[in-house]
Amino acid sequence: MTMAANHNSSASRFPTIDRCASIGRENHTVVADMDGTLLRGRSSFPYFALVAFEVGGALRLLFLLLASPLAGILYYFLSESAGIQVLIFATMAGMKVSDIESVARAVLPKFYSTDLHPESWRVFSSCGKRCVLTANPRIMVEAFLKDYLGADMVVGTEIGTYKGRATGLVNKPGILVGGNKASALRKTFGDEVPEIGLGDRKTDFPFMTLCKESYMVKPKPEVEAVTRDKLPKPIVFHDGRLVQKPTPLLALLTILWIPVGFILACLRIAAGALLPMQLVYYAFWALGVRVTIKGTPPPPPQKSTGQTGVLFICSHRAVLDPIFLSTALGRPIAAVTYSVSRLSEILSPIKTVRLTRDRASDASMIKKLLEEGDLVICPEGTTCREPFLLRFSALFAELTDQIVPVAMANRMSMFHGTTARGWKGMDPFYFFMNPSPAYEVTFLNKLPQELTCTAGKSSHEVANYIQRLIAASLSYECTSFTRKDKYKALAGNDGSVVEKPKVKPNQVMGC
C-alpha cells in the first residue's frame, strides 16, 4: 500500500513531456514505454491484427477479433497483463517464429512509423543511449525500434516457443508491465540510473520513479504524428496485404468484405481477360474500377511502312501495369516481364514474355518483339509502393530510339496488389478485391531523338533521364535501389523465387 501511494505521489509530480529539454542530452540515457509514449496510439490491437492476418489469414484475424472483447474486459477489470496475454495467445499460438519475425521486419515498421509521437521522438532522439521497455512482445517491435528509431536496447515480453513455433504463452517474468518493468530496468542497467524516463500510464510509474527525470505523455490534447519527410529513416520497402491499420471495426469490415470482394475480383478479372480490349475500359468502369488517362498516346505502328513498334517505359506499381496500359490504349500491348506467377500469365489478356536475365538473349528477344509491334517494359524490375522510383535497368535504351515514358499510379483502399513474401498468383485478385481500385495512366512526350543512344547518349544516361522524368510527373523521388535490394530486405532472397520464398530470420530490413 505504501509503495502504491509513493508511486501515485511521484506521479503527481511528473511534468508533461513538452517540458523536457532535448538539448545537451548526447551523453544521457532515455528509457521509454512504447504504446502511448513513443507511439501516439495506446492500443496495440492493430499491430496484433496485422500479425494475425499476414501470418494466419482471415480466420486467424477473426479469432483475434472474437477474443478482443475478453481481452478488453480483463484489461479494465482485472489487470493490463491479463488482457495483453489474451491478445498474444489469440494472435500467435501455433505460428512459426520465423513468420512472426518476417512480419515484424517487413510489415509492421510501415504502420508503426505512421504513429510516431513528435514530442516523445524529440526527446528520445536527442539522447545518446536509448532503451525501450514495453509490454509488447519483443519479437514484434525490436526490428522497428532498432532499425528505424535507433534504439540500443529493447526489453519486452518474451513469448514462449516450442520447436520453432509460438505457444501463445509468455516466458518469465511474464507480461512486462508495472513492477516487471521496474525489475527489467534494474536488471538491464544495474547500478546505473537512467537520466530520463518516459511513460503514459500508471503501470509505467514504477520504472519512471527509478529515473533521475520522468515525464508523462498525455493522450490529450491529441498531436499529429511525425510526418513522412521528418521520419528518422524513410520507409522505401514494405510488404503485407492490408493498406490501412486494422482497428477492430476495420478488421471486422475486412473479414466481412473478403467473400464479396473475391467474387467481385473474379468478375473484374474475367472482364479484362475475355472482353475485347476496346471494351475493357467500359467494363472496368461498370464494375467500379476507375481508369484515368492523361496525355496523348501514340498511334499504333504502320507495318506497311516498315515502322517498328514503340517501346513504352512505365513506372512499376503492380503486376497489372501492362494491362491497364493496354486498357488506356484500347489495344493489347505485349509485355516483357521479370518474374510473374504462372497463374497471372494464364489469366493475362495480353502477351507476356519472360526475360531470361541473359543480356544478349533478352536484347535479341526485345528487338524481335518491337519488329512485331508495340511493347511495354517496366525497367525497375519490381514494384514499389511508396512514392519512390527504383533504379531503371538501362538495357532498353540500347535497343530503340522510339521510346514513350508512361507514369503509372494506382490507388487501393483495403488490399495491396503486390507481395514480396507471399504467393504472387494472388496479386491480381487482391488488387481487384478493393472496393473501388483506380489506375492513372499518364503518357509523357516521346523521347526526343537527341536524347537517345542513337544521338550518342549512353544507355545509363537515357535510363536515368527517363527515371527523373517519370518521377517529376508523379512527384516521386528517384532512388538507386534495385530489385535485389527490395527482395533482400523483405524476403531474404534476390527476387528470383516466385512461389512462397523462404525468409531468413536474421535478414534486417534496410533502406
Q: Where are the domains of the chain?
A: 11-230, 248-482
Beta bridge partners of 39: 35, 116
**362-399 pLDDT tens trace:** 889 999 999 889 999 999 999 999 999 999 999 999 99
User: Residue 292 and residue 254: Cα distance in Å, rounded?
Assistant: 26
- Provide the pLDDT for residue 2: 35
Which cell numbers hold the place of 104? 515484424
Q: Which residues contact 21 (CB under 8 A, 6 or more apart)?
A: none
Cis ω before 173 (30° cut-off from 0): yes
- Provide the pLDDT for residue 503: 37
Quick check: do 11-230 and 248-482 share a fold? no
> Once rounded to an integer, what is the mean pLDDT over residues 214-223?
87
- Provide the pLDDT for residue 500: 42
Q: What percent of the chain has pLDDT over 90?
A: 77
Beta bridge partners of 337: 354
**313-330 pLDDT tens trace:** 999 999 999 999 999 999
User: Residue 69 and residue 334: Cα distance in Å, rounded?
Assistant: 52
Which cell numbers hold the place of 206? 514504477
User: Residue 231 and residue 253: Cα distance in Å, rounded?
Assistant: 30
| CB-CB contact of 392 with 219 (8 Å) | no
- Provide the pLDDT for residue 510: 30
Beta bridge partners of 442: 294, 407
108 residue type, one letter: L
- Provide the pLDDT for residue 496: 59
CATH code linked to domain 248-482: 3.40.1130
> CA neighbours within 13 Å on the CB side: how many for 33?
32
User: Residue 374 and residue 328: Cα distance in Å, rounded?
Assistant: 14
Is the Cα dihedral 346, 495, 328, 427 positive or negative? Answer: positive
- For 11-230, the fitting CATH number among 3.10.310.10, 3.40.50.1000, 3.40.50.920, 3.90.550.10 is 3.40.50.1000
How open is the CA angle 311-317-319, to the nearest 5 degrees? 75
Task: Compute the residue count for the chain.
Answer: 511
* 0.85 exceeded by pTM: yes
Q: Is residue 5 pLDDT above 60, yes or no?
A: no
- Provide the pLDDT for residue 507: 31
Nearest to 236 by CA among 118, 391, 126, 98: 391
Helices (H), 239-339: 248-274, 277-286, 321-329
| CB-CB contact of 104 with 52 (8 Å) | no
> 412 to each of 234, 318, 438, 453, how far by Cα in Å?
21, 11, 7, 37
**74-96 pLDDT tens trace:** 998 989 999 999 999 999 999 99
More confident residue, 489 or 91: 91
